[in-house]
Structure 1
Amino acid sequence: MVHIFSPLKGRSKSGRPAVSTLALALALALSGCATTPPPDGAMNQAQVQLQAARDAGAADYAPVDLGFAQNKFQQAQNAMASRKYDDAATLADEARADAELARAKARLAAARAQIQAKTNGNRQLRDQIEQSLSDQQQHDQSQNTNLPVQQPTQDMPAPASSSLSEPIPQGQGFQTLPQNNDQPVPQSNDQGGHP
Protein backbone atom coordinates (compact mmCIF):
# COMPACT_ATOMS: atom_id res chain seq x y z
CA MET A 1 0.00 0.00 0.00
CA VAL A 2 1.26 3.37 -0.92
CA HIS A 3 0.68 6.40 1.19
CA ILE A 4 0.84 9.82 -0.23
CA PHE A 5 1.19 12.67 2.13
CA SER A 6 -0.49 15.83 1.24
CA PRO A 7 0.14 19.16 2.84
CA LEU A 8 -2.13 20.06 5.63
CA LYS A 9 -4.93 22.23 4.74
CA GLY A 10 -4.85 25.73 6.13
CA ARG A 11 -1.08 25.97 6.56
CA SER A 12 0.80 28.35 4.38
CA LYS A 13 3.76 27.29 2.40
CA SER A 14 5.87 30.19 3.74
CA GLY A 15 6.51 28.52 7.14
CA ARG A 16 8.77 25.88 5.68
CA PRO A 17 11.60 28.22 4.67
CA ALA A 18 11.67 29.80 8.16
CA VAL A 19 12.07 26.39 9.80
CA SER A 20 14.75 25.30 7.35
CA THR A 21 16.62 28.59 7.86
CA LEU A 22 16.48 28.14 11.61
CA ALA A 23 17.75 24.57 11.32
CA LEU A 24 20.55 25.70 9.04
CA ALA A 25 21.59 28.49 11.43
CA LEU A 26 21.60 26.07 14.36
CA ALA A 27 23.72 23.60 12.41
CA LEU A 28 26.21 26.32 11.46
CA ALA A 29 26.43 27.57 15.03
CA LEU A 30 27.12 24.08 16.33
CA SER A 31 29.63 23.39 13.61
CA GLY A 32 31.31 26.78 14.25
CA CYS A 33 31.90 25.89 17.90
CA ALA A 34 33.27 22.54 16.98
CA THR A 35 35.73 23.90 14.42
CA THR A 36 37.36 26.60 16.62
CA PRO A 37 40.65 25.06 17.73
CA PRO A 38 41.86 25.43 21.30
CA PRO A 39 44.16 28.46 21.68
CA ASP A 40 47.15 26.46 22.83
CA GLY A 41 49.64 28.96 21.40
CA ALA A 42 48.02 31.91 23.17
CA MET A 43 47.90 29.95 26.42
CA ASN A 44 51.57 29.01 26.13
CA GLN A 45 52.60 32.61 25.41
CA ALA A 46 50.61 33.83 28.40
CA GLN A 47 52.20 31.21 30.64
CA VAL A 48 55.73 32.10 29.40
CA GLN A 49 55.12 35.82 30.03
CA LEU A 50 53.75 35.10 33.49
CA GLN A 51 56.90 33.18 34.38
CA ALA A 52 59.10 35.95 32.92
CA ALA A 53 57.23 38.52 35.04
CA ARG A 54 57.74 36.43 38.17
CA ASP A 55 61.45 36.02 37.34
CA ALA A 56 61.79 39.79 36.89
CA GLY A 57 60.50 40.35 40.43
CA ALA A 58 56.96 41.45 39.58
CA ALA A 59 55.71 39.95 42.84
CA ASP A 60 57.77 42.61 44.67
CA TYR A 61 57.70 45.54 42.25
CA ALA A 62 54.36 45.17 40.37
CA PRO A 63 52.11 42.87 42.42
CA VAL A 64 48.83 44.40 41.19
CA ASP A 65 49.62 43.90 37.50
CA LEU A 66 50.94 40.41 38.16
CA GLY A 67 47.70 39.61 40.04
CA PHE A 68 45.64 40.81 37.07
CA ALA A 69 47.66 38.60 34.73
CA GLN A 70 47.35 35.54 36.95
CA ASN A 71 43.60 36.09 37.36
CA LYS A 72 43.05 36.38 33.60
CA PHE A 73 45.18 33.30 32.97
CA GLN A 74 43.07 31.34 35.49
CA GLN A 75 39.90 32.50 33.72
CA ALA A 76 41.42 31.42 30.38
CA GLN A 77 42.14 27.97 31.81
CA ASN A 78 38.55 27.71 33.04
CA ALA A 79 37.26 28.73 29.59
CA MET A 80 39.49 26.07 28.01
CA ALA A 81 38.05 23.46 30.33
CA SER A 82 34.54 24.56 29.32
CA ARG A 83 35.53 24.41 25.63
CA LYS A 84 34.89 28.13 25.21
CA TYR A 85 37.92 28.54 23.02
CA ASP A 86 37.16 32.05 21.77
CA ASP A 87 36.85 33.33 25.34
CA ALA A 88 39.97 31.40 26.34
CA ALA A 89 41.97 32.98 23.49
CA THR A 90 40.85 36.48 24.45
CA LEU A 91 41.59 35.94 28.13
CA ALA A 92 44.98 34.39 27.35
CA ASP A 93 45.92 37.45 25.25
CA GLU A 94 44.85 39.76 28.08
CA ALA A 95 46.84 37.68 30.58
CA ARG A 96 49.91 37.86 28.34
CA ALA A 97 49.58 41.65 27.99
CA ASP A 98 49.15 42.11 31.75
CA ALA A 99 52.15 39.87 32.41
CA GLU A 100 54.29 41.87 29.95
CA LEU A 101 53.24 45.08 31.70
CA ALA A 102 54.06 43.60 35.11
CA ARG A 103 57.46 42.47 33.82
CA ALA A 104 58.25 45.90 32.36
CA LYS A 105 57.24 47.65 35.59
CA ALA A 106 59.30 45.21 37.64
CA ARG A 107 62.38 45.76 35.49
CA LEU A 108 61.94 49.53 35.71
CA ALA A 109 61.53 49.42 39.48
CA ALA A 110 64.59 47.16 39.84
CA ALA A 111 66.64 49.57 37.72
CA ARG A 112 65.46 52.50 39.85
CA ALA A 113 66.42 50.60 43.00
CA GLN A 114 69.90 49.97 41.60
CA ILE A 115 70.28 53.64 40.65
CA GLN A 116 69.18 54.69 44.14
CA ALA A 117 71.64 52.27 45.74
CA LYS A 118 74.50 53.59 43.59
CA THR A 119 73.50 57.19 44.36
CA ASN A 120 73.55 56.43 48.08
CA GLY A 121 76.93 54.71 47.74
CA ASN A 122 78.34 57.70 45.86
CA ARG A 123 77.01 60.07 48.52
CA GLN A 124 78.68 58.00 51.25
CA LEU A 125 81.98 58.00 49.36
CA ARG A 126 81.75 61.76 48.84
CA ASP A 127 81.10 62.26 52.56
CA GLN A 128 84.06 60.04 53.45
CA ILE A 129 86.35 61.97 51.10
CA GLU A 130 85.21 65.31 52.51
CA GLN A 131 85.70 64.03 56.06
CA SER A 132 89.16 62.73 55.19
CA LEU A 133 90.15 66.06 53.63
CA SER A 134 88.82 67.93 56.65
CA ASP A 135 90.76 65.65 59.01
CA GLN A 136 93.92 66.12 56.93
CA GLN A 137 93.57 69.91 57.03
CA GLN A 138 93.09 69.87 60.79
CA HIS A 139 96.12 67.61 61.16
CA ASP A 140 98.23 69.91 58.98
CA GLN A 141 97.10 72.98 60.93
CA SER A 142 97.93 71.35 64.26
CA GLN A 143 101.42 70.46 63.04
CA ASN A 144 101.98 73.99 61.73
CA THR A 145 101.09 75.50 65.12
CA ASN A 146 103.79 73.38 66.81
CA LEU A 147 106.51 74.61 64.44
CA PRO A 148 108.37 77.87 65.19
CA VAL A 149 107.19 80.78 63.16
CA GLN A 150 109.62 81.50 60.36
CA GLN A 151 110.30 85.05 59.32
CA PRO A 152 109.62 85.59 55.67
CA THR A 153 112.87 85.89 53.78
CA GLN A 154 113.43 88.75 51.44
CA ASP A 155 115.15 88.19 48.18
CA MET A 156 117.95 90.42 47.14
CA PRO A 157 116.89 92.98 44.60
CA ALA A 158 118.02 92.29 41.10
CA PRO A 159 120.57 94.64 39.61
CA ALA A 160 119.43 97.13 37.06
CA SER A 161 119.44 95.83 33.53
CA SER A 162 121.98 98.43 32.42
CA SER A 163 124.62 97.07 34.78
CA LEU A 164 124.10 93.57 33.45
CA SER A 165 124.67 94.58 29.88
CA GLU A 166 128.06 96.29 30.46
CA PRO A 167 131.11 94.06 30.28
CA ILE A 168 133.19 93.77 33.42
CA PRO A 169 136.45 95.70 33.07
CA GLN A 170 139.72 93.78 33.21
CA GLY A 171 140.95 93.30 36.70
CA GLN A 172 137.59 93.68 38.36
CA GLY A 173 135.58 90.63 39.26
CA PHE A 174 136.72 87.09 39.77
CA GLN A 175 140.17 85.98 38.77
CA THR A 176 141.24 82.48 37.96
CA LEU A 177 144.52 81.42 39.55
CA PRO A 178 146.74 78.83 38.04
CA GLN A 179 146.52 75.39 39.59
CA ASN A 180 150.04 75.16 40.79
CA ASN A 181 150.35 73.60 44.20
CA ASP A 182 153.98 74.74 44.62
CA GLN A 183 153.27 78.44 44.65
CA PRO A 184 151.51 79.99 47.58
CA VAL A 185 148.08 81.46 46.95
CA PRO A 186 148.10 85.22 47.57
CA GLN A 187 145.85 86.10 50.41
CA SER A 188 143.53 89.01 50.03
CA ASN A 189 141.62 90.59 52.84
CA ASP A 190 139.35 92.30 50.37
CA GLN A 191 136.00 90.63 50.23
CA GLY A 192 134.28 90.13 46.95
CA GLY A 193 137.11 88.41 45.14
CA HIS A 194 139.09 91.55 44.15
CA PRO A 195 142.96 91.17 44.18
Structure 2
Amino acid sequence: MRSPADVTTLQDALRQAGDEGLPIIIKIETRKAFEALPATLLTAMRSPSVGVMIARGDLAVECGYERLAEVQEEILWVSEAAHLPVIWATQVLETLATTGTPSRAEVTDAAMAERSECVMLNKGPHLEEALHFLDDVLRRMEAHQTKKRSMLRRLHLADLFEKNSAPTDKPAARRKPGCL
Protein backbone atom coordinates (compact mmCIF):
# COMPACT_ATOMS: atom_id res chain seq x y z
CA MET A 1 0.00 0.00 0.00
CA ARG A 2 1.42 3.29 -1.01
CA SER A 3 -1.00 5.77 0.50
CA PRO A 4 -3.86 6.32 2.91
CA ALA A 5 -6.20 6.19 -0.12
CA ASP A 6 -5.06 2.60 -0.81
CA VAL A 7 -5.95 1.65 2.77
CA THR A 8 -9.34 3.36 2.54
CA THR A 9 -10.09 1.46 -0.67
CA LEU A 10 -9.20 -1.83 1.06
CA GLN A 11 -11.24 -0.96 4.16
CA ASP A 12 -14.25 -0.12 1.98
CA ALA A 13 -13.92 -3.39 0.06
CA LEU A 14 -13.64 -5.39 3.29
CA ARG A 15 -16.67 -3.59 4.73
CA GLN A 16 -18.73 -4.34 1.59
CA ALA A 17 -17.68 -8.00 1.75
CA GLY A 18 -18.59 -8.17 5.44
CA ASP A 19 -14.96 -8.92 6.37
CA GLU A 20 -13.98 -5.64 8.04
CA GLY A 21 -12.56 -7.58 11.00
CA LEU A 22 -9.80 -9.14 8.87
CA PRO A 23 -6.28 -7.98 9.80
CA ILE A 24 -4.58 -5.53 7.46
CA ILE A 25 -0.84 -5.67 6.78
CA ILE A 26 0.69 -2.47 5.44
CA LYS A 27 3.54 -3.62 3.19
CA ILE A 28 6.21 -0.95 2.86
CA GLU A 29 8.16 -1.64 -0.31
CA THR A 30 8.45 1.70 -2.08
CA ARG A 31 9.81 5.14 -1.28
CA LYS A 32 6.33 6.61 -1.73
CA ALA A 33 4.90 4.13 0.81
CA PHE A 34 7.69 4.95 3.26
CA GLU A 35 7.12 8.70 2.94
CA ALA A 36 3.35 8.26 3.44
CA LEU A 37 3.75 5.82 6.36
CA PRO A 38 2.47 8.03 9.23
CA ALA A 39 -0.69 9.07 7.36
CA THR A 40 -1.19 5.53 6.06
CA LEU A 41 -0.92 4.09 9.56
CA LEU A 42 -3.39 6.61 10.96
CA THR A 43 -5.87 5.56 8.29
CA ALA A 44 -5.18 1.84 8.77
CA MET A 45 -5.58 2.09 12.53
CA ARG A 46 -9.30 2.64 12.01
CA SER A 47 -9.38 -1.11 11.38
CA PRO A 48 -9.43 -3.49 14.34
CA SER A 49 -6.14 -5.24 13.56
CA VAL A 50 -3.15 -3.77 11.70
CA GLY A 51 0.48 -4.72 11.17
CA VAL A 52 3.42 -3.46 9.11
CA MET A 53 5.68 -5.46 6.80
CA ILE A 54 9.11 -4.13 5.92
CA ALA A 55 9.70 -5.54 2.42
CA ARG A 56 13.41 -4.83 2.56
CA GLY A 57 14.43 -6.15 -0.87
CA ASP A 58 12.16 -3.84 -2.85
CA LEU A 59 12.70 -1.03 -0.37
CA ALA A 60 16.48 -1.23 -0.81
CA VAL A 61 16.11 -0.89 -4.57
CA GLU A 62 13.68 2.02 -4.19
CA CYS A 63 15.50 3.97 -1.44
CA GLY A 64 19.07 2.84 -2.07
CA TYR A 65 21.01 0.13 -0.29
CA GLU A 66 23.00 2.76 1.60
CA ARG A 67 19.76 4.05 3.18
CA LEU A 68 18.07 0.71 3.89
CA ALA A 69 19.22 0.44 7.52
CA GLU A 70 18.04 3.98 8.27
CA VAL A 71 14.70 3.51 6.51
CA GLN A 72 13.91 0.20 8.21
CA GLU A 73 14.88 1.76 11.55
CA GLU A 74 12.41 4.60 11.01
CA ILE A 75 9.68 2.13 10.06
CA LEU A 76 10.38 0.20 13.27
CA TRP A 77 10.21 3.41 15.35
CA VAL A 78 6.96 4.64 13.81
CA SER A 79 5.37 1.20 14.11
CA GLU A 80 6.48 0.88 17.72
CA ALA A 81 5.09 4.33 18.54
CA ALA A 82 1.79 3.21 17.03
CA HIS A 83 1.94 -0.09 19.00
CA LEU A 84 1.75 -2.08 15.78
CA PRO A 85 3.50 -5.39 15.11
CA VAL A 86 6.19 -5.50 12.44
CA ILE A 87 7.05 -8.29 10.01
CA TRP A 88 10.79 -8.36 9.11
CA ALA A 89 10.77 -9.73 5.55
CA THR A 90 12.84 -10.35 2.47
CA GLN A 91 15.97 -12.47 2.21
CA VAL A 92 16.32 -13.29 5.92
CA LEU A 93 18.81 -16.20 6.11
CA GLU A 94 18.32 -16.76 2.38
CA THR A 95 21.78 -18.29 1.86
CA LEU A 96 21.22 -20.66 4.79
CA ALA A 97 17.81 -21.70 3.47
CA THR A 98 19.16 -22.36 -0.02
CA THR A 99 22.72 -23.66 0.60
CA GLY A 100 22.77 -24.77 4.24
CA THR A 101 25.37 -22.19 5.34
CA PRO A 102 24.57 -18.62 6.45
CA SER A 103 26.73 -15.64 5.63
CA ARG A 104 28.05 -13.45 8.46
CA ALA A 105 25.86 -10.60 7.26
CA GLU A 106 22.78 -12.83 7.38
CA VAL A 107 23.50 -13.81 10.98
CA THR A 108 23.69 -10.14 12.00
CA ASP A 109 20.56 -9.38 10.00
CA ALA A 110 18.72 -12.25 11.71
CA ALA A 111 19.83 -10.90 15.09
CA MET A 112 18.41 -7.47 14.26
CA ALA A 113 15.12 -9.14 13.33
CA GLU A 114 14.53 -9.65 17.06
CA ARG A 115 13.20 -6.10 17.13
CA SER A 116 10.19 -7.18 15.07
CA GLU A 117 7.28 -9.37 16.10
CA CYS A 118 7.49 -11.67 13.09
CA VAL A 119 10.26 -12.80 10.74
CA MET A 120 9.52 -14.10 7.26
CA LEU A 121 11.88 -16.73 5.85
CA ASN A 122 12.20 -17.61 2.17
CA LYS A 123 11.72 -21.15 0.99
CA GLY A 124 14.63 -23.43 0.23
CA PRO A 125 15.87 -27.00 0.71
CA HIS A 126 17.36 -26.07 4.11
CA LEU A 127 14.32 -24.16 5.40
CA GLU A 128 13.89 -26.28 8.54
CA GLU A 129 17.56 -25.75 9.43
CA ALA A 130 17.14 -22.01 8.81
CA LEU A 131 14.09 -21.98 11.07
CA HIS A 132 15.96 -23.65 13.96
CA PHE A 133 18.95 -21.37 13.42
CA LEU A 134 16.71 -18.28 13.44
CA ASP A 135 14.95 -19.47 16.60
CA ASP A 136 18.33 -19.90 18.34
CA VAL A 137 19.57 -16.46 17.27
CA LEU A 138 16.34 -14.72 18.28
CA ARG A 139 16.25 -16.42 21.68
CA ARG A 140 19.84 -15.32 22.35
CA MET A 141 19.09 -11.76 21.24
CA GLU A 142 16.09 -11.40 23.55
CA ALA A 143 18.51 -10.65 26.38
CA HIS A 144 20.15 -7.87 24.36
CA GLN A 145 17.19 -6.13 22.73
CA THR A 146 14.11 -4.61 24.21
CA LYS A 147 11.36 -2.48 22.85
CA LYS A 148 10.63 0.80 24.56
CA ARG A 149 6.92 0.30 25.03
CA SER A 150 4.87 2.36 27.38
CA MET A 151 1.49 0.73 27.49
CA LEU A 152 -0.65 3.85 27.52
CA ARG A 153 -4.39 4.22 27.72
CA ARG A 154 -6.26 5.22 24.59
CA LEU A 155 -5.24 8.77 23.74
CA HIS A 156 -7.83 11.52 23.51
CA LEU A 157 -5.89 12.80 20.52
CA ALA A 158 -6.87 9.64 18.65
CA ASP A 159 -10.53 10.39 19.36
CA LEU A 160 -10.11 13.90 17.93
CA PHE A 161 -8.46 12.56 14.81
CA GLU A 162 -11.31 10.13 14.32
CA LYS A 163 -13.95 12.84 14.91
CA ASN A 164 -12.23 15.38 12.65
CA SER A 165 -11.84 12.96 9.76
CA ALA A 166 -15.47 11.76 9.85
CA PRO A 167 -18.33 13.96 8.68
CA THR A 168 -20.06 15.70 11.57
CA ASP A 169 -23.08 17.93 12.12
CA LYS A 170 -21.38 19.68 15.00
CA PRO A 171 -19.72 22.94 13.89
CA ALA A 172 -16.12 23.32 14.99
CA ALA A 173 -16.97 26.62 16.74
CA ARG A 174 -19.11 24.78 19.33
CA ARG A 175 -16.22 22.66 20.55
CA LYS A 176 -14.42 23.89 23.64
CA PRO A 177 -11.09 25.40 22.59
CA GLY A 178 -8.04 23.58 23.89
CA CYS A 179 -10.02 20.55 25.10
CA LEU A 180 -9.14 17.03 24.14
User: Looking at CA atoms only, which structure, 1 or 2, has the larger radius of gyration?
Assistant: 1
Return the TM-score normalized by structure 1. Answer: 0.17
Q: Report which of the two has the higher share of helix.
A: 1
- Normalising by structure 2, we get a TM-score of 0.18
Higher RCO by CA contacts (8 Å cutoff, separation 6 or greater): 1
Query: Which structure is higher in strand share?
Result: 2
